[in-house]
Structure 1
């Protein structure tokens, strides 16, 4: 029976960030490399594009605003598509037609957390967006995604129609910014060590083992 103190891992990321999609798979692979280390993972919100309005904008408009042109993104996208593929993930940027504001996605993840399903909710939303080109500004798409991971569809639809937890999520995202987090994914170990970027699984596993050893040495 392990008497090790669990290592808290806060993962600050956004569902429309391709490196966060890749980083999620890499941290999962890292955890599989250190099965003897007890951890508590929490998914924390970040707004990669806080300027995108709640109703979203067209993908072409977004790419032009962010990268100068749709063509300019194609070169960048190729590298990310390849990196995703190496992790067994599919990213098909040509299918994405609408750029969402992600506050509702983060609300879903927060609500799923109460049922121990935050990771599944996050994965479902990312797959919809990156793999299927799903419109995350469409309430029907969000409700179906929630139902797919076992949340009550009627309950989710009702809650999405309100401002429930909007202030909470916005506050958590602001807190991450206030702490100096500007690039995601960022993995925060034991609330004191931050690793930025979608680092390789082996590197993340080393960090997990190292910090876990440290906090348990201090606890003795």
Structure 2
């Protein structure tokens, strides 16, 4: 069976990204259930999320990428967490199963900065101009928190392209 690669660009400080993530998940399971998000955007303040993305790369290397991504998104959109604050990031990472000590050590240095920059470069090459954005196989980028039906259709079209 051929592989189907999907790249998703998001930013923790983009409220639409959490919607887009949930809609993507809904598209994969074809569910129309309530998304269950409790936004408190009155508490959210835009910050530089570069270190949060570095932490995500480290978490993904330990098999905890989904857990850390979800915790950071919930913390920002629902709890007003400062995702540029290293103490907050370490505590949130620990809540998601990533050791706080390892997170603090990572955040003191510049580990995974090159990986985040490589993600940014790839997004630029693919024409991503905002988040969330989805690149499914070699199809054009789908931008925005699209409906599960639209995302599912994009997956079907991509699958037809790779399955021949």
Report Cα offsets for 1:28-78 as digits up to 9, x if no partner: 0001129xxxxxxxxxxxxxxxxxxxxxxxxxxxxxxxxxxxxxxxxxxxx
Task: Say if 2:121 is the partner of 1:174.
Answer: yes
For 1:190 and 1:184, locate their aligned partners in 2 and report how far apart those are by CA, in whole Å: 18
2:16 aligns with 19
1:163 aligns with 110
Report Cα offsets for 1:53-112 as digits up to 9, x if no partner: xxxxxxxxxxxxxxxxxxxxxxxxxxxxxxxxx63211112122x432011110111111
Task: Say if 2:130 is the partner of 1:183.
Answer: yes
For 1:203 and 1:192, locate their aligned partners in 2 and report how far apart those are by CA, in whole Å: 13
- Structure 1 runs not aligned, ≥5 long: 35-85
- Structure 2 runs not aligned, ≥5 long: none
For 1:208 and 1:30, locate their aligned partners in 2 and report how far apart those are by CA, in whole Å: 9
1:9 aligns with 6
1:67 aligns with none
Between structures 1 and 2, the one with greater strand share? 1
Root-mean-square deviation (Å)? 1.7
For 1:26 and 1:180, locate their aligned partners in 2 and report how far apart those are by CA, in whole Å: 22
- Deviation at residue 161 of structure 1 after TM alignment: 0.1
Question: Rg larger in 1 or in 2?
Answer: 1
1:95 aligns with 43
- Deviation at residue 213 of structure 1 after TM alignment: 2.2
> SS state of the match for residue 26, structure 1?
helix
Aligned length: 162
Task: Say if 2:30 is the partner of 1:28.
Answer: no
- Deviation at residue 181 of structure 1 after TM alignment: 1.0
- Deviation at residue 211 of structure 1 after TM alignment: 1.0
